[in-house]
Amino acid sequence: MLPRWGFLVIGLLMSLAVINMASAQDAAEFGRIFDADNVAANAGDVRTMLSLRTTERQKEISGQIKGKKDRAYFLLISRAQVPESYQIQHVSRAKSGQSVTLYLLGQFSAMPEMQRPRLQMEELISFKKENGVWKIDKALPLGDPDKIQRPKDLTHDPQDANLNATGEIAGRIVKTEFKPGYTLVLLRVMDEEHAVFLPAKEELEKADMPLKSLDPWNLYQFSGHPHKSDTLKFFATRGKSIED
């Protein structure tokens, strides 16, 4: 039997990162940078692509494309990452104001040379500000939202928590529901969606937990116990917001 949540919640670690939902102006600004990179990739313009990236990424890429074959492969991969169309789902700014994350849902053309069919995919593009100019830092494919792996069910069954095992899980909050007796957080981790169970809303409030930190799109890390049989269910004993 699990220890009482009221006791466990005292151990919740809060490090709230204030991430503001961006305006349409933000989306347009970073969308333009993303578009410029896509145009350069399709044109095979490596110089422009590098100029749009952070100094760290420029050095990393330059060190990998010294030969003709490496350069050709880099351009192939770059073209493969150019969507034929896309939607900006969300833009978030980190507390520092020096980094921004762009969440996209894109439609990508088939690429016979890579044996890739036409597909849709979510993608994360991160930006950093260098000398007052926004630069692309990283691009991370997140998978097809229609093929996300999810828990068998969302039943709150704390008796099936594996108390002999501990672990951590971190990702983007998709949804938070305050249920009678517990809180359910759906957490996206790459191409998986995990059901994370927390104490009831009243207990979280008593522990002075900022409930806004559990809003969708926020990044969060939980510590606790996995489910005995369903790897996509997790019983949290601690948690903290994390920066982009």
Arithmetic mean of pLDDT, 56-70: 95
Per-residue b or e along 79-100, where b marks 16 or more CB atoms closer than 10 Å to that residue's CB: bebbbeebebeebbbbeeeebb
Q: What is the largest CA-CA distance in the chain?
A: 62
Q: Give the start-to-end residue ranges of the domains of the chain.
A: 21-146, 148-241
Give the pLDDT confidence of 214-243 residue by residue, as tens digits.
999 999 999 999 999 999 999 999 898 886
Under 8 Å CB-to-CB from 123, ≥6 apart: which residues? 81, 83, 86, 103, 104, 105, 106, 139, 140, 141, 142
Sign for the pseudo-dihedral over CA of 68, 72, 73, 75: positive
CA atoms within 13 A on the CB side of 153: 4
Please give the average per-residue pLDDT across 125-132, as a whole number.
96
Residues making up the chain, counted from first to last? 244
The pLDDT of residue 116 is 93
User: Which tokens in the block code for residue 122?
Assistant: 């979510």
The CATH fold assigned to 21-146 is: Nuclear Transport Factor 2; Chain: A, (3.10.450)
- Sheet-wide strand order for 133-143: 20-21, 85-93, 99-108, 119-130, 133-143
Q: What is the DSSP string of the chain?
A: -PPPHHHHGGG--------EEPPHHHHHHHHHHHHHHHHHHHHT-HHHHHHTB-HHHHHHHHHH--SHHHHHHHHHHHHHT--SEEEEEEEEE-TTSSEEEEEEEEEE--BGGGTB--EEEEEEEEEEEETTEEEEEEEEEEE-GGG-B--S-----GGGB-TT--EEEEEEEEEEEEETTEEEEEEEETTEEEEEEE--HHHHHHTT--GGGGSTT-EEEEEEEEBSS-TTEEEEEEEEE---
CATH number (1.10.3720.10, 3.90.1150.10, 3.40.50.10490, 2.40.50.140) of 148-241 reads 2.40.50.140
Q: Left if phi > 0, otherwise alpha if psi is -120 to 50, otherwise beta: which for 48?
A: alpha
Question: What's the pLDDT at 209?
Answer: 86
Whether the per-residue pLDDT at 164 is higher than 70: the answer is yes
pLDDT (mean) for 192-213 = 93
Q: What is the pLDDT of residue 15?
A: 27
What average pLDDT score do residues 162-180 get?
Answer: 95
Q: Where does the pLDDT of residue 182 fall: very low under 50, low under 70, confident under 90, or very high at 90 and above?
A: very high
Write the pLDDT tens digit of every residue in 3-62.
333 333 323 322 223 233 446 788 999 999 999 999 999 999 999 999 999 999 999 999
Pairwise CA distance, residues 153 & 233, whole Å:
9
